[in-house]
Amino acid sequence: MLDYAIGNLRSAQKALQRAGADAHLTADADEIAAADGVVLPGVGNFGACMDALDGTGLTDQAKVAATSGRPFLGICVGMQLLYEWSDESPGRPGLGLLPGTIRLLPDGVKRPQMQWNRLAVSSHPLMRGLEGQWMYFVHSYAAQVDENVIATVDYGGPVAAAAARGNVWATQFHPEKSADAGRHLLENWVRTVADSIALLRQDHS
């Protein structure tokens, strides 16, 4: 878990441990390079998070980890940082691992969306068993619903709740705060990490 000194990271760490992962908070390049899977959390403002990533030297680490093929999971603003741009911080590039711009939630709904909402999911290993499950959201901006989106919720129309492209997966909601449904999602991801370790071992044997 990339530790770039933002808000509450402990909850996500504890939830990953509960889901079976040996989860560490770290900003150490060697530890990140040796990890079987990498989590990019995030909370607050897009530009402030990118600045904090830069400030801790983790921007390149995040890009290297995401392009290495290892399982990579962005959470909340950590999902938004994966995209190219955000209207929250115009002119401040994101990591550019997913195409598109993060935009403000639609007019006519409260911003932030601060509530539980029910997922409509597409077929993807991260979303296995989660159709109709409830997750906790806190956000004012979201990715656009495009071909990478693997789950949506209804909030003034369909809103991107999760996305995936190759090994880079992400959730706009907070699985670490979404009770049993969130645990189920993290277990799906941890299982993917375990499977990829097994595949790597096969390749080497």
Partner 1 sequence: MKVVRVIPCLDVENGRVVKGINFVGLRDAGDPVELAAVYDAQGADELVFLDITASSDNRQTTVDMATAVAEQVFIPFTIGGGIRTVEDARRLLRAGADKVSVNSAAVSRPELVAEIAAEFGNQCCVVAVDGRRSDRPGIESGFEVYVKGGREATGIDVVQWVRRVVALGAGEILLTSMDRDGTREGFDLAMTAAVTAAVDVPVIASGGVGSLGHFAPAVIEGGADAVLAASIFHFGEHTVAEAKAALTAAGVTVRPAG
**Active site members:** 76, 174, 176
Site string for partner 1, 144-173 (x = CB under 8 A): ---------xxx------------------
How far apart CA 179 and CA 165 sit, in angstroms, is 26
Most distant CA atoms of the chain, gap in Å? 57
Question: Of how many residues is the chain composed?
Answer: 205
Nearest to 77 by CA among 156, 167, 8: 8
Per-position x/- string for 28-47, each x denoting binding to partner 1 as judged by CB under 8 A, each - no binding: ---------------xxx--
CA 6 to chain centre: 15
Q: Which of 27, 64, 138, 194 binds partner 1 (CB under 8 A)?
A: 138
State yes or no: residue 177 binds partner 1 (CB under 8 A): yes
Q: Which of 63, 128, 183, 184 binds partner 1 (CB under 8 A)?
A: 183
Is residue 11 a contact point for partner 1 (CB under 8 A)?
yes
Rounded to whole angstroms, the Cα distance separating 117 from 96 reads: 27
Angle between helices 179-204 and 10-18 (to 10 degrees): 70
129 touches partner 1 by CB under 8 A:
no
The residue behind tokens 């190759």 is 166
Counting contacts by CB under 8 A, is residue 199 touching partner 1?
no
Identify which range of 10-18, 33-41, 53-61, 191-199 contacts partner 1 by CB under 8 A: 10-18
How far apart, in whole angstroms, are the C-alpha atoms of residue 173 and residue 201? 33
Residue 113: phi and psi, rounded to 5, are -70, 115
Site for partner 1 in 58-117 (CB under 8 A): 109-112, 114-117
- Decide whether 44 or 96 has the Cβ nearer to partner 1: 44
Given its phi and psi angles, is residue 116 left (phi above 0), alpha (psi -120 to 50 degrees) or beta?
beta
Contacting residue, 83, 85, 134, 173, with partner 1 by CB under 8 A: 134
Binding site residues, partner 1, CB under 8 A = 7-8, 10-11, 14-15, 18, 43-45, 48, 109-112, 114-118, 134, 136, 138-140, 153-155, 174, 176-179, 182-183
